[in-house]
Amino acid sequence: MSMDSRDKRQPLLKALSNAFDGIKTALKSERNMRIHFISSFLAIGASFYFSITKIEWLFILFAIGGMFALELVNTAIERVVDLVTSERHPLAKQAKDIAAGAVMIYAILSVIIGSMIFFPYVLKLF
């Protein structure tokens, strides 16, 4: 490893700090990120309440983690597109729409997963 590449490496704590700053920024500025955040607390609360199985926990955690990750990527794509051009451009619109579509598909999948897991538990309450 050359001296230059070692100098450019970020200390781990700084890299983690930057990542948390990104999450914090998205939570403050993105309505959908806040919706996902609240939904994740509801899902985790329901998971504890119903004492779901370990396998069900894995599905819930992957749905939550994937949703956050995808929403962050979508937000990053929107920011980069906005940085590159302030003009209305068909490719800029397509980039934003495609990223939003990916988030929507995963959100639908997450709702299906949550419904499949929680519906039987909710039915047992009645």
Hey, which residues are catalytic here?
71
Tell whether residue 56 is among the known ligand binding residues.
no
CA dihedral 125, 106, 36, 55 (to 10 degrees): 50
Q: Residue 11 is encoded by which pair of tokens? A: 């200390």
Tell whether residue 36 is among the known ligand binding residues.
no
Length of the chain: 126
Helix-strand-coil percent breakdown of the chain, rounded to 5?
Answer: 85, 0, 15
Tell whether residue 24 is among the known ligand binding residues.
no
**How many beta carbons lie within 10 A of that of residue 110, not counting itself?**
22
Bind-site residues for ATP: 30, 78, 87-89, 96-97
Bind-site residues for a divalent metal cation: 30, 78
Bind-site residues for substrate: 71
